[in-house]
């Protein structure tokens, strides 16, 4: 099975470094290009048994506790954050 590697220009890498690193943590290898020619790559540096998931760094964080607690824990957390 041949997998296509993702590519990103150096300019895009500078603008989206955190997201690119998160993709590498999730297992992707990203090839960095200069003027459409590959010059380097970012790949995972983790143990094979650790997997962070394909959606790491891909979007917003959604509250997990809201559904089961009817928002009680979120209210307490919000109060705690206001005092800082």
Q: Is residue 24 part of a domain?
A: yes
Specify if 18 maps to a domain: yes
Name which residue leads in pLDDT, 74 or 37. Answer: 37
Assess if residue 62 is contained within a domain.
Answer: no
Tell me the whole-structure pTM to 2 decimals.
0.52
Mean pLDDT of 48-66: 62
- Res 52: pLDDT: 64
User: What is the distance between the alpha carbons of residues 6 and 8, in angstroms, rounded to a whole number?
Assistant: 7
Determine, yes or no, domain membership for 32: yes
What is the sign of the dihedral through the CA atoms of 30, 34, 39 and 45?
Answer: negative
Q: To the nearest whole number, what is the mean pLDDT of the chain?
A: 77
Look at the chain and report how many structural domains it folds into.
Answer: 1
Domain with 12, as residue range(s), is 1-45
**Quick one: which of 50, 6, 2 has its CA closest to 26?**
50
CATH of the domain at 21: 3.40.1620.10
Q: Does residue 22 lie in a domain region?
A: yes
Question: How much of the chain, in percent, has pLDDT values that exceed 90?
Answer: 33
Residue 8 lies in a domain: yes
């Amino acid at each position: 099975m041949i997998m296509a590697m993702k590519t990103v220009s150096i300019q895009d890498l500078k603008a989206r470094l955190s997201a690119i690193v998160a993709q590498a943590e999730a297992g992707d290898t990203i090839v960095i290009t200069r003027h459409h020619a590959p010059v380097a790559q970012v790949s995972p540096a983790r143990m094979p048994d650790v997997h962070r998931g394909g959606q790491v760094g891909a979007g917003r964080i959604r509250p997990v506790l809201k559904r089961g607690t009817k928002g009680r824990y979120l209210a307490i957390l919000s109060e705690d954050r206001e005092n800082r």
